[in-house]
Structure 1
C-alpha cells in the first residue's frame, strides 16, 4: 500500500471536511446518470420482466434449471453482485481508531435502538394494520423490516451531506449483527408475533441462517478482499478515485438485472394479483417515512438540548450530518437480503418473495424525496455547526 497519513495512537480520526451547503433544488443535478435513471429503470425492468413472464413460455423452467441453495443461479448471481460493490466502499481500516473515541458510543446506541428494537416492531405493526387479510404478503413485508440497512444508505447519506465515516461504521455494525440476528428475528416476528400457523409454510432457522451467510457473508468477504487487494496492488488514491467509481455502478446494474429476472419469473403471478401488489406499497411507504422522521427528529432534539447545556461554541455530537446518518440508516432496509431469504425459504414464485421485491421500487423514490427534505432542513433548522471528531 502507498503511504497514507497515519492517525496517532489513541487520537481521534480527523473529521471529514465539511461540504458546502447545496441548494436542494440542484440535488437532481448532483446525481450521476445511473442515479438519475435508477427509479425509471426499476420501473422499466419490472414491466419488461412481467411481459416476459406473461408471454414467453417456459421461462420459469429455464430459470430453475440450475439452483444454488434453493435459488436459481441467475437470481443468486444478481443478489450477490448487488451488495459486493457497496461493501467494497466501506473504510474498514478506520474502525480501530473510531472505536477508541467516546463520541461514537451514543450513536451506536441510537442506531441499535432504531434498527433492532423500533424498526422491527414498527414494520410488524404496519404490516398487520394494512395487510390483515393477506398473510403471505404480510410475511414478505415483515421480512423486509427485519433486514437492516447496508446498501443504498451510503448513497443517500452522501447526497444529503451526512458523515460518511459514521455511516460506514453503522453499515458494518448492522452487517455483522444481521448475520447473527436476522434468522432469529425473522423466525420470531414471522412465526410467533406474525402469527403464521403451524399448518402454513414457516421459516426454519437453519435455512434462514445459511441464506444470510451466503447472501451477506459472501459479498461482505468479497468486498473486504477486493478493497485491500486493489489497495495493495495499486494505491489508496487509485482505489478511491478510479476503482470504486468504476466498480460502484455494478451494484445498481445487479439490482436491475435481479428485478428483471425475478419479475420475469413472477410475471403471470403479478398480472393476476395486481391489487395486493399495490397494497404492499402502503406499509413500506409509511415505514420509511416514520422511521426516517423519528430518527432525524431525535438527533435534532439532542442537538438543541446539547446546545443549551454546552453553548453554541462547543462541539456537538448531534449535528446535522449525524442526523442524516441516523435517519437514513433507520429508514432504509437491506431489501436484497430479504429478497434472497424469501426466495430461498418460500420459492421465487411465492407471494412472500413478490412482496419483498416491491422494496426497492418503494425505497428509491421515497428516500430520494427524503434527501431533498434533509437538505431543506439543513438550512431551515438551527444546528450547532461544529462537528465532533470521529
Structure 2
C-alpha cells in the first residue's frame, strides 16, 4: 500500500493514458459499459466509487459524531466556500475567459454553453470522491461524513435556485433521481455497510486488522474509475483537443484558486489538519454526475454545456491528487489535534 500511495500520481497518469488508448481501441466495449446506468448514474462507476468509500466508512466511530457540534468552524468553512463563493467565482471565470479572453476562438453561442456547464459544476459540491481525498489526507472520517451530509441536505434546496440565478433561466429542472440515487449509493449504503461491519468485527483490534486488508482496494477502485472515465471520453478528447484545453484552463484556475482561498482560511482559523484538509477538498471538488445530468437535460447531449461538465470530470482526479499531495506536505502548517 505504501508503494501505491507514494507513486499514486504516476499510476493515475498511466491509467489516464490507458483509458484514452483503450477507449479508442475498444469503443464498443466502453459504450456498452457507459450504457449501464440508471438515472444518469453509471452503475459500474458507482460500484467502483463504493469500493473506494467503503473502507473510510468502516473507520467512522459513530459514537463520536455527536461531539462534532463542539467544533463547528470546519463545517462553517465548507458551507461558506461551497455556497457563498464557489458558484460565483466559477461564473465570473467562465464569463472572463469565454466572453473576453477566448472570444476569438469560440462562437458566442458555444461560449455561452461552456459558461453554463462551468456554472453547473460550480453549484454542485462533491458527494462521493471527497471521502477518498479525506482518506488520502488522513482526514477525520467522522467530521468528513457530517460535512458531506450537511452539504447534501443544502444541495437539495439550493442547487436549483442558485443555478437558475447564475444561468439566467427560470426552468432549471433538477434530476431528482440522479441526486437522490447518488446520495444513496455514495453515502447511505456505504455508511450502512460501515456500521454493520464495525458491529460484526467488534473490538478495535479486529477493525484495524480488517482495514489493513481492505484499504488497498480504495486505490484499486480509484485507478479503475480513472480508466473508465477517460475511456468513456477518449474519442471526444482526441476529436476536440482545443475545446478541451480551452475549457480546462478556467476550470484549473477555479480549482486551485478555491483551494487556496479555503486552505488559507483554514490556516487562519487554526483548524487541525485532519479537519482543514477534507473541508478544503469538499469545497474544491465537484458532484460531476449531477452537473452532467442537468447540462444534458437543459442543453442536450452534444451541447457545449455537456462538454464542459465532462471536462470537469477529466480534470478532477489528477488535479485533486495534486492538492492531496500539497495538503500532506503542508501538514505542519496546522495545529495538531
Q: TM-score, normalised by structure 2?
A: 0.77
CA-CA distance at 1:332 after TM superposition: 4.4
Matched, 1:75 2:45: yes
Q: Of residues 305, 310, 315 in structure 2, which corresponds to 1:354?
A: 310
Report the Cα distance in structure 2 between the residues aligned to 1:210 and 1:333, rounded to whole angstroms: 24
Report the Cα distance in structure 1 between the residues aligned to 2:206 and 2:119, rounded to whole angstroms: 37
Q: CA contact under 8 A between 2:20 and 2:231: conserved in structure 1?
A: yes
Q: CA contact under 8 A between 2:121 and 2:287: conserved in structure 1?
A: yes
The alpha-carbon distance between structure 1 residues 83 and 231, as it changes in their structure 2 partners (threshold 3 A), is closer
CA-CA distance at 1:270 after TM superposition: 0.8
Query: Which residue pairs with 1:341 in the alignment?
Result: 290
CA-CA distance at 1:189 after TM superposition: 4.3
CA-CA distance at 1:42 after TM superposition: 2.1
Query: Which residue pairs with 2:147 in the alignment?
Result: 174
Unaligned runs of at least 5 residues, structure 1: 1-30, 159-163, 303-317, 379-384
More helix by share: 2
Number of residue pairs aligned between Structure 1 and Structure 2: 316
Spell out the pairing of 1:37-52 with structure 2 (5 A cutoff).
Answer: 37-52=7-22
Report the Cα distance in structure 2 between the residues aligned to 1:66 and 1:299, rounded to whole angstroms: 40
Report the Cα distance in structure 1 between the residues aligned to 2:173 and 2:39, rounded to whole angstroms: 14
Unaligned runs of at least 5 residues, structure 2: 100-105
The alpha-carbon distance between structure 1 residues 77 and 120, as it changes in their structure 2 partners (threshold 3 A), is same
Query: Which residue pairs with 2:242 in the alignment?
Result: 275
Matched, 1:365 2:337: no
Spell out the pairing of 1:1-390 with structure 2 (5 A cutoff).
Answer: 32-99=2-69, 101=70, 104-132=71-99, 134-145=111-122, 146-148=124-126, 150-158=130-138, 164-165=139-140, 168-169=142-143, 171-195=144-168, 203-205=172-174, 207=175, 209-238=176-205, 240-302=207-269, 318=270, 321=272, 325-326=275-276, 328-332=278-282, 335=285, 338-345=287-294, 346=296, 350-357=306-313, 358-375=315-332, 377=333
- Say what the alpha-carbon RMSD is for the aligned residues: 3.3
Q: Secondary structure at the match of 1:193?
A: helix
CA-CA distance at 1:359 after TM superposition: 0.9
Report the Cα distance in structure 1 between the residues aligned to 2:181 and 2:97, rounded to whole angstroms: 32
The alpha-carbon distance between structure 1 residues 72 and 137, as it changes in their structure 2 partners (threshold 3 A), is same
Report the Cα distance in structure 1 between the residues aligned to 2:66 and 2:225, rounded to whole angstroms: 35
| Higher gyration radius (CA) | 1
